Amino acid sequence: MQPATIETNLTTSHNKGSGLPCMPTRPIIQVSGLTRTIDSGTHQVHILRGIDFEIPAGQFVAIMGASGSGKSTLLGLLAGLDTPSAGRIVLDGEDITNLREDALARLRGRRIGFVFQSWQLLPTLTAEENVLLPSELAGSPGGIARARELLDRVGLAERRDHYPVQLSGGEQQRVALARAFMVRPPILMADEPTGNLDSTNGEMVLNLLIDLNRRESATLLLVTHDHDLAAHADRVLTMRDGLIVSDELRGENAR
């Protein structure tokens, strides 16, 4: 199976409401020839079979596909959490393909916010301390004011001194959202961020994620199998058997 042909100029944005094209936007994410293969002992398993795409700064991209399609593996590679078997990944102008782990950790701390399905909050830290953590690791000033601003935006200003065990699942994911935006990363990656939530909390978290992303002007990559979530995206990449089989711009972005 060959990847779908993409007919749209992927690095050109449009003025919302005007229908007029803007100047081309420099891709903040560039992927070429990306593969991931693992050796099971008896045979090789090809998880990604050659992925190519570019994402302009500020775009909201949903990555869809059935379980086993390779979407979470792709996100992990883009975040520098795994190493590709072949190919090239450039994030915000920096080729991360062969970076050492210490350099990757510094890049993630400065340029990538990550929202996990299972929240990944530290149980011994309060909500505020969890949100503060990326700032403290990066040595950034003004952390407390920023953390409290973000907790207020996600409706948890009164819960900032609570520990994760004292928070509901929806509240914990809202803390995780605030943490992801703490150092104003240019790229945000979210892996099934509403997967462990009921429909009411899931919708609330999604709306907060979209609103925060709009305010912070980040590029958002969202892995999901939920078509309702993907409907909010500017662009949808659909994966099957380790390939991108569809690349679709949505709404005003498709004009």
Domain that holds residue 209: 59-80+106-254
133 or 40, greater pLDDT: 133
Task: Look at residue 175 and tell me whether its pLDDT is greater than 70.
Answer: yes
The tally of domains found in the chain comes to 1
Burial 201-240 (b: 16+ CB within 10 A, else e): bbebbbebbbebbeebebbbbbbbeeeebbebbbbbbbbb
Which positions ≥6 away from 236 have C-beta within 8 Å?
Answer: 61, 62, 63, 64, 230, 246, 247, 248, 250
Strands 219-223 and 94-95: unpaired
Lowest mean pLDDT among 121-125, 141-145, 152-156, 229-233: 141-145
- What local confidence, expressed as pLDDT, does residue 116 receive? 84
Distance CA 30, CA 32 (A): 7
Asked if residue 46 is part of any domain, the answer here is no
Asked if residue 11 is part of any domain, the answer here is no
- What local confidence, expressed as pLDDT, does residue 199 receive? 87
What are the tens digits of pLDDT across the range 56-102? 999 999 999 998 899 999 999 999 999 999 999 999 999 999 899 99
Asked if residue 51 is part of any domain, the answer here is no
Confidence tier at 205 by pLDDT (50, 70, 90): confident
What are the tens digits of pLDDT across the range 90-148? 999 999 998 999 999 989 888 999 988 888 899 999 999 999 999 988 877 778 999 99
Asked if residue 27 is part of any domain, the answer here is no
Percent pLDDT > 70 in the chain is 88
Mean pLDDT along residues 234-248: 96
- What local confidence, expressed as pLDDT, does residue 202 receive? 86
Asked if residue 199 is part of any domain, the answer here is yes
Tell the burial category of 88 from Cβ atoms under 10 Å away from its Cβ (0-12, 13-18, 19+): middle
Q: How many CA atoms lie within 13 A of 83 on its CB side?
A: 7
- What local confidence, expressed as pLDDT, does residue 1 receive? 44
Task: Look at residue 159 and tell me whether its pLDDT is greater than 70.
Answer: yes
DSSP readout, the chain?
A: -PPPP--S-TTEEE-TTT--EEEEPPEEEEEEEEEEEEE-SSSEEEEEEEEEEEEETT-EEEEEE-TTSSHHHHHHHHTTSS--SEEEEEETTEE-TT--HHHHHHHHHHHEEEE-TT----TTS-HHHHHHHHHHHHT-S-HHHHHHHHHHHTT-GGGTT--GGGS-HHHHHHHHHHHHTTT--SEEEEESTTTTS-HHHHHHHHHHHHHHHHHHT-EEEEE-S-HHHHTTSSEEEEEETTEEEEEEE-GGGG-
Task: Look at residue 19 and tell me whether its pLDDT is greater than 50.
Answer: no
Asked if residue 153 is part of any domain, the answer here is yes
Distance CA 151, CA 157 (A): 5
Distance CA 12, CA 254 (A): 11
Task: Look at residue 13 and tell me whether its pLDDT is greater than 70.
Answer: no
**How many residues are listed for the chain in this entry?**
255
Distance CA 166, CA 106 (A): 31
Asked if residue 116 is part of any domain, the answer here is yes
Q: What is the CATH number of the domain that holds 233?
A: 3.40.50.300
Confidence tier at 8 by pLDDT (50, 70, 90): very low
Mean pLDDT along residues 236-241: 96
**What are the residues facing 94 on neighbouring strands?**
91
Asked if residue 123 is part of any domain, the answer here is yes
Task: Look at residue 52 and tell me whether its pLDDT is greater than 50.
Answer: yes
